[in-house]
Amino acid sequence: MLLLIQYTLIFASVLLLVALGGCFSEHSGVINIGLEGIMVMGALGGALMMKYISAGLPAVVIILLVIFASALAGLVYSLLLAVAAINFKADQTLVGTAMNLLGTAAATVMVRAINSAENADNVSSSIQYIEQKKAFLVNIGGFEFNWFMLVAAVALAVSYVVLYKTRFGLRLQACGEHPQAADSVGINVYKMRYAGVLISGVLGGLGGIVYITAGVSEWKFENGVAGFGFLALAVMIFGQWKPTRIALAALLFGLFRALSNVYSGFDFLASLKIPGSVYNMLPYIISLIVLTFTSSKSRAPKAEGIPYDKGQR
């Protein structure tokens, strides 16, 4: 049971961080379908940091450096969406889809180039971070606490305060609801949308590094992040673009994802003799069912996905 709770919390942390990122972007008026690619690039930034820093550094230093590298990689990659969607008014769905395809391919090429440069016989797309990963884990009575769980909780609290208790958050939401009205009272819609997309890049990048370190100490980047970016979008929609509801949705989806890791440890589930692949599919099946019954009642930001035209009223 402790193992189920452990995996539920870590997968929920991934979904929470990425879904909050999508929430900021869409509240600003930009649909971020590219969260999957952003996760991959954030994972790459964090994994490379762990690869090259010394495992002998204090745990807090390792944690901060990895968080910084992942957030920075996600932020830089999200600039592709920001420039294309905001400056060039490109179709946001197409740009996001291209980012997803490019993210995994680019990460795979970069890792293979790095590995082959260090060892001509090594052309794998894997990065190991066995010793460095230990800095993120604390064993508490058999429960393996991961510091990323705390990062996700802090991100949730900060997101709620920023969106609903600050001038910045209210302005951001105004740009996603009625950008022309926001512009008429002096709010720079372009800057606010840039801010929303870049924040989604930071949180998406963090979600990426949390995902690849959740259960393994080596990651093959050709595997991407197994659709977790899209699953986070489902969590965001199910949570109605509200941080507290997103957190509850993330726990629900995280539980179904965790079952695929620990089902064999439960006698009842093991006795059903259901193939493990079915448990792996559960979160995605549940997301389809949930969205089928809830999407018609969704209250998305009214101007999301619509390029802002300053001359339109």
Residue 52 belongs to some domain of the structure: yes
Residue 302 belongs to some domain of the structure: no
What are the structure tokens assigned to 273, written together? Answer: 């003799």
Residue 275 belongs to some domain of the structure: yes
Structure confidence by residue, pLDDT tens digits, 61-110: 999 999 999 999 999 999 999 999 999 999 999 999 999 999 999 999 99
Residue 74: C-alpha distances to residues 6, 15, 203, 268 (Å): 26, 15, 8, 41
Residue 126 has pLDDT above 60, yes or no: yes
Neighbours of 63 (CB within 10 A): 18
What's the CATH code of the domain at 41? 1.10.3470
Domain that holds residue 147: 2-297
pLDDT of residue 129: 94
Residue 312 belongs to some domain of the structure: no
Structure confidence by residue, pLDDT tens digits, 40-63: 999 999 999 999 999 899 999 999
- C-alpha 232/C-alpha 42 separation (Å) is 15
Structure confidence by residue, pLDDT tens digits, 14-48: 999 999 999 999 999 999 999 999 999 999 999 99
Residue 193 has pLDDT above 80, yes or no: yes
Q: Per the structure, how many domains does the chain have?
A: 1
Residue 311 belongs to some domain of the structure: no
If 0-12 CB within 10 Å is exposed, 13-18 middle and 19+ buried, where does residue 288 land? Answer: exposed
Report pTM: 0.95
% of residues, the chain, pLDDT over 90: 78
Query: What residues are paired with 143 via a beta bridge?
Result: 140
Residue 117: C-alpha distances to residues 121, 292, 308 (Å): 9, 48, 45
Residue 270 has pLDDT above 70, yes or no: no
Residue 265 has pLDDT above 60, yes or no: no
- C-alpha 195/C-alpha 38 separation (Å) is 16
- C-alpha 305/C-alpha 179 separation (Å) is 12
pLDDT of residue 164: 96
Sign of CA dihedral 299, 256, 230, 290: negative
Residue 23 belongs to some domain of the structure: yes
pLDDT of residue 259: 84
Helix (H, G, I), strand (E, B) or coil at 302: coil
* DSSP letters for 10-27: HHHHHHHHHHHHHHHHHH
pLDDT band at 312 (very low <50, low <70, confident <90, very high): low
Q: What does DSSP assign to residue 137?
A: E
Q: What does DSSP assign to residue 263?
A: G
